Amino acid sequence: MAPRSRRRRHRKPPSSVAPIIMTPTTIVTPMPLTPSKPGPSIDTLGFFSLDDNVPGLSQLILQKLNMKSYEEYKLVVDGGTPVSGFGFRCPQEMFQRMEDTFRFCAHCRVLPSGLSDSKVLRHCKRCRNVYYCGPECQRSDWPAHRRVCQELRLVAVDRLMEWLLVTGDFVLPSGPWPWPPEAVQDWDSWFSMKGLHLDATLDAVLVSHAVTTLWASVGRPRPDPDVLQGSLKRLLTDVLSRPLTLGLGLRALEIDVRRIGGSTVHVVGASHVETFLTRPGDYDELGHMFPGHLGLRVVMVGVDVANGFSQSTSTSPLEPGTIQLSAHKGLYHDFWEEQVETGQTDHPDLVAAFHPGFHSSPDLMEAWLPTLLLLRDYKIPTLITVYSHQELVSSLQILVELDTHITAYGANPFMSLKPEQVYSNPNKQPVYCSAYYIMFLGSSCQLDNSQLEEKVDGGI
Helix (H/G/I), strand (E/B), else coil: 374:
helix
Q: How many residues does the chain have?
A: 460
- If asked whether residues 288 and 387 sit together in one domain, one would say yes
On whether both 305 and 216 belong to a single domain, the answer is yes
pLDDT of 77: 65
pLDDT band at 43 (very low <50, low <70, confident <90, very high): low
Q: What is the pTM of this model?
A: 0.83
Share of residues in the chain with pLDDT > 90 (%)? 58
Q: Are residues 258 and 377 in the same domain?
A: yes
62 lies in the same domain as 123: yes
pLDDT at 308 over 80: no
Average pLDDT over all residues of the chain: 84
Same domain, 273 and 368: yes
Determine, yes or no, domain membership for 34.
no
Looking at the structure, do residues 107 and 210 belong to the same domain, yes or no?
no
Between the CA of residue 169 and those of 11, 231, 242, 274, 434, what are the distances in Å? 8, 14, 21, 20, 26
State the Cα–Cα distance between residues 377 and 159, nearest whole angstrom.
42
Say if residues 349 and 380 touch (Cβ distance below 8 Å).
no
Q: Same domain, yes or no, for 137 and 201? A: no
Out of 88, 117, 146, a domain closes at: 146
The whole-number average pLDDT for the span 423-449 is 86
Residue 446, pLDDT > 80, answer: no
Least confident of 297-311, 366-380, 415-429: 297-311
The CA–CA distances, whole Å, from 105 to 25, 50, 130, 344 equal 18, 14, 8, 52
In a domain, 293, yes or no: yes
* Whether residues 282 and 209 fall in one domain: yes
Average pLDDT over residues 389-418: 96
Nearest alpha carbon to residue 268 among 305, 225, 219, 213: 305
pLDDT over 80 at 34, yes or no: no
Confidence of residue 81 (pLDDT cuts 50, 70, 90): low
Residues 235, 345: one domain? yes
What's the confidence (pLDDT) of residue 306? Answer: 78
| DSSP character at residue 113 | G
At residue 18, the pLDDT reads: 36
CA angle 246–387–288, rounded 5-degree value: 20
Residues 151-171 pLDDT 10s: 999 999 999 999 999 888 998
DSSP H or E run through 214: helix 209-217
Question: Does 458 fall in a domain?
Answer: no
The per-residue pLDDT for range 119-161, each reduced to its tens digit, is 889 999 999 999 999 999 999 999 999 999 999 999 999 999 9
430 domain-assigned: yes
Convert the pLDDT of each residue in 94-116 to its tens digit. 888 888 889 999 999 999 999 88
User: Higher-confidence residue: 126 or 73?
Assistant: 126
Q: Check whether residue 91 and residue 189 sit in a common domain.
A: no
Confidence (pLDDT) at 83 = 59
Q: Are 316 and 406 within one domain?
A: yes
Please count the structural domains in the chain: 2
What is the bridge-based pairing of β-strands 436-443 and 404-411?
antiparallel
Does pLDDT of 89 surpass 80?
Answer: no
Name the residue with higher pLDDT: 4 or 123: 123
Average of per-residue pLDDT across 164-191: 93
User: Residue 454: inside a domain, yes or no?
Assistant: no
Residue 286 scores a pLDDT above 90: yes
Name which of 3, 64, 57 is nearest 29 in CA terms.
3
Residues 238 and 312 in one domain: yes
C-alpha torsion 26→32→35→39, nearest 10: 90
CA-to-CA separations, 331 to 39, 316, 375, 433, in angstroms, rounded: 11, 23, 13, 23
Q: Angle formed by the axes of helices 91-100 and 209-217, to 10°?
A: 60
How would you classify the pairing of strands 436-443 and 382-386?
A: antiparallel
> Does residue 412 sit within a domain?
yes
DSSP code, position 8:
S
Q: Alpha carbon of 112 to those of 105, 120, 256, 257, 268: distances in Å?
A: 9, 8, 56, 55, 39
Final residue in a domain of this structure, among 85, 114, 146 = 146
pLDDT tens-digit map of 218-231 = 988 999 999 999 99
- Give the span between the Cα atoms of 95 and 118, in whole angstroms: 26
Residue 26's pLDDT is what?
Answer: 42
Looking at the predicted structure, is the pLDDT value of residue 16 above 60? Answer: no
Q: Give the domain range for residue 105.
A: 42-146
Q: Which of 26-30, 52-56, 271-275, 445-449 has the lowest mean pLDDT?
A: 26-30
Inter-axis angle of helices 70-77 and 42-53, to 10 degrees?
130
For 371-400, what is the mean pLDDT? 96
For residue 454, is pLDDT > 50? no
- Residue finishing a domain among 146, 176, 193: 146
Question: Does some domain include residue 385?
Answer: yes
Nearby residues of 118 by Cβ (< 8 Å), 6 or more positions away = none
Give the tens place of pLDDT for each residue, 211-267: 999 999 998 899 999 999 999 999 999 999 999 999 999 999 999 999 888 999 999
Q: Has residue 35 been placed in a domain?
A: no
pLDDT number for residue 315? 66
Residue bearing the bigger pLDDT, 163 or 89: 163
Calpha distance 297→18 (Å, rounded): 39
